[in-house]
Amino acid sequence: MLDATDRQILTLLQQDAFISNKELSQRLNLSLTPIHERVKRLEREGYLKGYVGLVDRKKIGRDLIAFCQVSLKEHTQDFIREFEARIGSLPEVVECYNIAGPFDYLLKVVVKDMDDYRRFVVEQLAALAHIGGPQSLFVMAEIKATTALPIDQ
């Protein structure tokens, strides 16, 4: 169970994954050893799944975000597993959700431009078996994009 200090640690690490234990200890008024032990416990218990560097997609030429809604023509266990494995291997797909509603999956796709997205649809998605015609939504402006989750205090 998380206590208030654990929640504060998680909040601070979401803001800056490279914050030092020394900085955490100063901000939370605890000595280094308890901070270190708490962070290691949060990692061990799976609250902290990993640490990543967030790359500015525009600086690497990935200017277009598309949300692609996909339906499967068949819903057998084998086809679902195959689809999910193939989608998981495509680097353009940065998020994939199995959803309820008129579509089976919602993909977040990040590519260079519209030509790159067309190539993705024609060469990658169309190559997958048992997919219905994908529906695409294109992002005009990114209003909020965060990886931080609210940690209830």
Residues 63 and 115 in one domain: yes
Let me know if residue 114 belongs to a domain.
Answer: yes
Q: Residue 22 domain-assigned? A: yes
Q: What is the pLDDT of residue 152?
A: 82
What average pLDDT is seen over the chain?
A: 95
Say whether both 40 and 61 belong to one domain.
Answer: no
pLDDT of residue 31: 96
pTM: 0.89
Clarify whether residues 110 and 65 are in a common domain.
yes
Residue 86: which CATH number?
3.30.70.920
pLDDT tens digit sequence for 74-84: 999 999 999 99
Query: What is the radius of gyration, based on Cα positions, of the chain?
Result: 20
Q: How far apart are CA 32 and CA 23, in angstroms?
A: 9
pLDDT tens, residue by residue, 3-60: 999 999 999 999 999 999 999 999 999 999 999 999 999 999 999 999 999 999 999 9
Report the C-alpha gap between 13 and 22 in whole angstroms: 13
Domain with residue 22: its CATH number is 1.10.10.10
The Cβ of residue 44 has, within 10 Å, a number of other Cβ atoms equal to: 9
Q: Output the pLDDT for position 153.
A: 66
pLDDT in tens, 93-147: 999 999 999 999 999 999 999 999 999 999 999 999 889 889 999 999 999 999 9
pLDDT for residue 130: 87
- Give yes or no: residues 38 and 62 share one domain: no
Residues in the chain, overall count: 153
